[in-house]
C-alpha cells in the first residue's frame, strides 16, 4: 500500500526530478488525463509536489509536513473548504481546464473556476492571512490547453470543490448555467379553438392534444424527448404530429411509442407539439367514461417532467323504439288490401330489418318498413311489426293493429258479379212456366186444340191448364149466347 509522502521525501524527489529533467511542469497525457509528471514540485504548489491520493491529501492537510507556512487551513477556508470536507473527500476524479471549467466524466460541472498558488502571477489577488494568491486557472496554468487531474469534493451529492492532484491547490467554481424544462399538456376537440386541461367529448370524435415545452433555464438542452401515453380507445391519427406548426412527418408518429426527439431546445425557447387522436369507445361503454392522457419530457441535462390532460368520452347508449304501425284501412273485405307502414327511432344502433307478423306468423322480414296485407278470408287479423337491430329488437303496443275482414257482397242473381254491377238484374220469368227463365227455349205458349177432347193428365200443372182452357171456352160460349138473345 502506498504511504503518504513526507515533505523531506518530496524535497528529495524534487531534486532527483530536477536533476533528470531540469524542469517541473505538467504535460498532457491525453484528453481528460493527468500529467505525465504528476507531481508539481515547484514554489507555486500549495502542497509541495502535490497529493496524488485521498490519503496523501488528508495527511498533507492534517500534519505539519506540508504546513511549512502555517497557512494551509487559512488557504482552504478562503475557498470555503473546511477540514471536515477535506477529511470526507471522495475518490471521484475530475479535471480542471485552463479555460476555467471543471469536468467530471465528460460533463461540465463548473465554470469561472478559481484556484490558488504560492507565487504571484498576473491577475492574482492575495489571500488574507496566507502566503498564497487567488487567481483563475487560465492565469495559473502554463498553457491554454493545460488540463490537470483533480480530486472532487461533494456536498449533498453536488460537486462543490476540487484539489489539484499535482500541486494540492484548491479549486472552487460557479455552477454552469443549467438547462431547465417545463411542460404543459392540454386538449381540445377538433372543432374547438380553446385548449383545456379537461373536457367531455363525443365518442368517435377527433381530439387534438398539445404539449408545450418551455426552456426556463439559462442554457440549451439537447435530445429533449417528448413521449405521450394514450389512454384506452384512443389511437393517433398517423401523420398528424406538428412541431411549431410544421409537419413532423412519419417520425412524428413515434411520439406515442419510444418518443419524438427535439435535437435542441435553446434557452428561453418554446416548442409546441400537437397531434390528433381518434376516440372509438365500444358501444357497450354507454354513458361517460373517464380518461387520463399523460405526456413526459426529458433531455440530456434536464430531469423528467410530466403533465396530464383528462376528460370523459360520452357514448350514447343504444336506443331502439318501435314508435308506430299504421294501416291504410283497418276494415277490408276479402280480396282487398291494406298497406301497413312502420316507424322506428334508432340511436347508436344499426337497423337490420322490419319483421312483420300476421297472427304470430312472420310474413315479411326485410329492410322495408312497408307491408301490404291482402285479405284472403273473413275474420280478424293481428298485424305486428318487430324492429330488429344490431343492438337488439323492439316492438310496442303502438306497433300492433287489428284488421277486420268481412265477406265480399255478391249479386244475388249472379254470385260471380258484385252487387253494384250493371249486369246484376233480376232475371225475367217465363209467363207460361215460372220455373223457367224468359229466354229458356222451353218457354212457349200452350196450344188450344178446338173441340178435340183431350184427356186430362194427372199432373198439377196439367190440371191447371185444363181448368184454364175450360174457363176460356165457357166464357166464349156465354158471350155468343148473350149476343144472339139481344
Domain residue limits, the chain: 7-174, 181-315, 319-406, 441-476
Q: So what's the pLDDT on residue 450?
A: 57
Question: In this structure, are strands 170-174 and 181-189 parallel, antiparallel, or unpaired?
Answer: unpaired
Give the DSSP letter of residue 255: G
Could you tell me which residues are beta bridge partners of residue 135? 115
Give the span between the Cα atoms of 176 and 102, in whole angstroms: 10
Q: So what's the pLDDT on residue 220?
A: 94
Could you tell me which residues are beta bridge partners of residue 287? 315
430 contact partners, CB below 8 Å, separation of at least 6:
436, 437, 438, 440, 442, 443
| Contact (CB, 8 A) for 195 and 188 | yes
Give the span between the Cα atoms of 359 and 450, in whole angstroms: 75
Q: So what's the pLDDT on residue 471?
A: 53
CATH of region 319-406, choose from 3.40.50.10330, 2.30.110.10, 2.60.40.10, 2.30.30.60:
2.60.40.10
| Contact (CB, 8 A) for 181 and 220 | no
| Contact (CB, 8 A) for 150 and 32 | no
CA distances from 187 to 141, 207, 274, 306, 447 (A): 56, 7, 9, 15, 117
Within this chain, domains 181-315 and 319-406 share the same CATH topology? yes
| Contact (CB, 8 A) for 430 and 436 | yes
| Contact (CB, 8 A) for 150 and 168 | no
Q: So what's the pLDDT on residue 21?
A: 37
Cα angle 36, 39, 44 (rounded to 5 degrees) comes to 125
210 contact partners, CB below 8 Å, separation of at least 6:
184, 185, 186, 187, 188, 195, 272, 273, 274
Give the DSSP letter of residue 414: B
Q: So what's the pLDDT on residue 32?
A: 35
157 contact partners, CB below 8 Å, separation of at least 6:
none
| Contact (CB, 8 A) for 377 and 334 | yes
| Contact (CB, 8 A) for 314 and 236 | no
| Contact (CB, 8 A) for 49 and 39 | yes
CATH code, residues 181-315: 2.60.40.740
401 contact partners, CB below 8 Å, separation of at least 6:
325, 326, 327, 330, 340, 382, 383
Listed in sequence order, the DSSP H helices in 291-375 are none
Give the DSSP letter of residue 83: H
Could you tell me which residues are beta bridge partners of residue 374? 337
Instruction: Give the SS3 label for residue 125.
Output: strand
Instruction: Give the SS3 label for residue 306.
Output: strand
- H or E element that contains 7: helix 7-21
| Contact (CB, 8 A) for 399 and 410 | no
In the predicted model, residues of the chain with pLDDT beneath 50 are: 1-37, 451, 453-454, 457, 459, 463, 466, 468, 472-473, 477, 480-482, 484-486
Cα angle 269, 275, 280 (rounded to 5 degrees) comes to 155
Amino acid at each position: 500500500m502506498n504511504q503518504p509522502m513526507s515533505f523531506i521525501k518530496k524535497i528529495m524527489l524534487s531534486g532527483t526530478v530536477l536533476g533528470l529533467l531540469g524542469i517541473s511542469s505538467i504535460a498532457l497525457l491525453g484528453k481528460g488525463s493527468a500529467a505525465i509528471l504528476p507531481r508539481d514540485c515547484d514554489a507555486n504548489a500549495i502542497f509541495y509536489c502535490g497529493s496524488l491520493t485521498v490519503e496523501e491529501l488528508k495527511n498533507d492537510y492534517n500534519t505539519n509536513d506540508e504546513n511549512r507556512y502555517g497557512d494551509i487551513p487559512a488557504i482552504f477556508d478562503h475557498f470555503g473548504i473546511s477540514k471536515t470536507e477535506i477529511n470526507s473527500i471522495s475518490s471521484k476524479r475530475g479535471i480542471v481546464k485552463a479555460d476555467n471549467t471543471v469536468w467530471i466524466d465528460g460533463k461540465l460541472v463548473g465554470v469561472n473556476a478559481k484556484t490558488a498558488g504560492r507565487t504571484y502571477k498576473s491577475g492574482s489577488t492575495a489571500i488574507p492571512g496566507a502566503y498564497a494568491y487567488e487567481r483563475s486557472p487560465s492565469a495559473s496554468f502554463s498553457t491554454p490547453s493545460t488540463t490537470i487531474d483533480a480530486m472532487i469534493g461533494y456536498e449533498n451529492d453536488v460537486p462543490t470543490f476540487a484539489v489539484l492532484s499535482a500541486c494540492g491547490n484548491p479549486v472552487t467554481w460557479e455552477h454552469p448555467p443549467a438547462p431547465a424544462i417545463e411542460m404543459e399538456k392540454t386538449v381540445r376537440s377538433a372543432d374547438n379553438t380553446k385548449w383545456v386541461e379537461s373536457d367531455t367529448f363525443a365518442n368517435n370524435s377527433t381530439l387534438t392534444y398539445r404539449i408545450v415545452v418551455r426552456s426556463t433555464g439559462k442554457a440549451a438542452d439537447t435530445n429533449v424527448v417528448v413521449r405521450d401515453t394514450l389512454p384506452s380507445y384512443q389511437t393517433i391519427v398517423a401523420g398528424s404530429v406538428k412541431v411549431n406548426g410544421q409537419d413532423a412527418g412519419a417520425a412524428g408518429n413515434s411520439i406515442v411509442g419510444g418518443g419524438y426527439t427535439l435535437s435542441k431546445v435553446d434557452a428561453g425557447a418554446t416548442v409546441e407539439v400537437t397531434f390528433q387522436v381518434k376516440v372509438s369507445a365500444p358501444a357497450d361503454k354507454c354513458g361517460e367514461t373517464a380518461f387520463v392522457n399523460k405526456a413526459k419530457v426529458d433531455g440530456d441535462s434536464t430531469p423528467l417532467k410530466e403533465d396530464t390532460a383528462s376528460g370523459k368520452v360520452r357514448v350514447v347508449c343504444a336506443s331502439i323504439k318501435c314508435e308506430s304501425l299504421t294501416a291504410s284501412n283497418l276494415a277490408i273485405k276479402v280480396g282487398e288490401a291494406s298497406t301497413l307502414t312502420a316507424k322506428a327511432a334508432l340511436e347508436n344502433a344499426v337497423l337490420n330489418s322490419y319483421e312483420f307478423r300476421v297472427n304470430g306468423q312472420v310474413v315479411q322480414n326485410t329492410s322495408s318498413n312497408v307491408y301490404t296485407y291482402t285479405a284472403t278470408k273473413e275474420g280478424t287479423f293481428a298485424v305486428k311489426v318487430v324492429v330488429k337491430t344490431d343492438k337488439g329488437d323492439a316492438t310496442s303496443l303502438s306497433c300492433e293493429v287489428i284488421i277486420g275482414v268481412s265477406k265480399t257482397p255478391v249479386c244475388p242473381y249472379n254470385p260471380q258479379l258484385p252487387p253494384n254491377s250493371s249486369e246484376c238484374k233480376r232475371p225475367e220469368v217465363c209467363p207460361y212456366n215460372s220455373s223457367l227463365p224468359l229466354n229458356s227455349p222451353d218457354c212457349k205458349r200452350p196450344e188450344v186444340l178446338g173441340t178435340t177432347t183431350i184427356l186430362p193428365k194427372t199432373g198439377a200443372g196439367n190440371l191447371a191448364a185444363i181448368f184454364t182452357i175450360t174457363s176460356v171456352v165457357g166464357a166464349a160460349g156465354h158471350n155468343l149466347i148473350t149476343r144472339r138473345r139481344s
